[in-house]
Copies of this chain bind each other. A is one copy, B any other.
Amino acid sequence: MTVESTAAHKPRRSAGGKTGGTGTKATGTTGTKRTTRAAKKSTDPQLVQLLTPEGERVANPEYDPYVAGITPEDLRGLYRDMVLTRRFDAEATSLQRQGELGLWASLLGQEAAQIGSGRATREDDYVFPTYREHGVAWCRGVDPTNLLGMFRGVNNGGWDPNGNNFHLYTIVIGSQALHATGYAMGITMDGADSAVIAYFGDGASSQGDVNEAFNFAAVYNAPVVFFCQNNQWAISESNEKQTRVPLYQRAQGFGFPGVRVDGNDVLASLAVTRWALDRARRGEGPALIEAFTYRMGAHTTSDDPSRYRHDDERIAWEAKDPILRLRRHLEAANHADEGFFGELEAESEALGRRVREAVRAMPDPDRFALFEHAYADGHALVDEERARFAAYQASFADAEGGQ
Contact = CB atoms under 8 A, between A and B. Distances in A.
Contacts of A248: 35
A38 B285 CA distance: 17
Interface in A232-272: 240-245, 248-260
A36 to B, nearest CB: 4
Q: How many copies does the complex hold?
A: 2
Nearest to A32: B46
Interface stretch (A160-168, A212-220, A346-354): A212-220
Nearest to A286: B21
Contacts of A219: 11-12, 240-244
A15 B212 contact: no
B27 A32 contact: no
Interface stretch (A75-83, A202-210, A311-319): A202-210
A141 interface: no
A255 B260 contact: no
A367 interface: no
Contacts of A9: 255
Contacts of A206: 212, 215
Given A11-B221, A21-B218, A30-B62, A252 B38 contact: yes
Interface residues of A, number: 74
Contact of A35 (B25, B218, B249): B249
A213 B394 CA distance: 55
A388 interface: no
Interface in A25-73: 25, 27-30, 32-36, 38-39, 41-43, 45-48, 61-63, 65-66
Given A33-B45, A188-B15, A212 B208 contact: yes
Interface stretch (A89-97, A108-116, A144-152, A276-284): A276-284
B283 A15 contact: yes
Nearest to A37: B38
Specify the main secondary structure of chain A where it touches its partner. Answer: loop
B208 A14 contact: no
A35 B46 CA distance: 11
A335 interface: no
Q: Which of A9, A41, A254 has the most CB of B within 10 A?
A: A254
Contacts of A30: 62
Nearest to A251: B35
Contact of A25 (B209, B221, B279): B279
A156 interface: no
Interface of A: 9, 11-18, 20-21, 23, 25, 27-30, 32-36, 38-39, 41-43, 45-48, 61-63, 65-66, 188, 206-209, 211-212, 215, 218-222, 240-245, 248-260, 275, 279, 282-285
Given A13-B222, A33-B46, A35-B258, 12 more contacts: A14-B285, A23-B284, A28-B279, A32-B41, A32-B42, A33-B259, A35-B38, A211-B212, A211-B215, A215-B244, A243-B254, A249-B253
